Amino acid sequence: MNNRISLLLNVVLLAAVAVLFYLHFKGNKPAGSETAKTTKTDSAAPKLTFEIPKNLAGARVLYINIDSINLRYQAITDLSRETEAYMKNLDARYQKRQMEVQQQYYTYQQRAQAQTISASEAEAEEKSINAGMEELAKMERELGQLQNNASKKNEKIVTEVSAYFKEYSKTKGVDFILGYGGGSMVMYANDSLDVTSDVLNALNATYRQKTGTPKK
């Protein structure tokens, strides 16, 4: 579950990663030039040219630690705990019932091959086995519904987090907020630019206010 949320958060923030490359070329291009070109190392290689946005000069970039968000944002931890507990219970019931049905079917086959079961007994066994299969199918549908509900809640969390990032950026005058950790494409981040704690405090306070959940 956490991996999914991490992936969704990464998708939301992925486009911002490109600014690192823009800032790198911006700082190394000749003064007064607005065009960066690759060095031609092969006569057959095409020459690449791109324009650097003028307003990137002085752009403010901060980042959040995605792993910390996943572990400490209460909306995520509450959803994970709720879903995990139900799924474990459902999985345990499913495994137990599946083994019972498999054993019942194996015993039925053995008796049928040995011709030690009457027609009425065989009919009763077949009905019982079919009922067990239907019960397993119902559990599978229940699991699918659980996953669907969890996915919808995930989407809601991502939407709320994205909205908070947008408001936070406006309030703080920030141009980009990158996601660091958990499979992100940011290879290095200066700790002085880490705003994870600020973001977590605000997100958790808002979540507790909306849901009436006590602080943990």
**Cβ neighbours of residue 92 closer than 8 Å, sequence gap 6 or more:** none
pLDDT tens readout for residues 119-158: 999 999 999 999 999 999 999 999 999 989 999 999 999 8
Q: What are the backbone angles phi and psi of residue 180, rounded to the nearest 5°?
A: -120, 135
Domain spanning 2-211: CATH superfamily: Skp domain (3.30.910.20)
pLDDT tens readout for residues 156-193: 998 998 888 888 888 888 888 888 887 776 655 667 77
- The pTM score is 0.59
Query: Among 89-103, 109-123, 173-187, where is mean pLDDT lowest?
Result: 173-187
Residue carrying the six token digits 């909205």: 163
Contact 13, 178 (CB under 8 A): yes
- Nearest Cα neighbor of 214 from 199, 204, 200, 203 is 204
pLDDT above 60: residue 8: no
How are beta strands 176-180 and 61-65 bridged, if at all?
parallel
Residue carrying the six token digits 């995930």: 154
Tokens representing residue 47 in the block: 């020459």
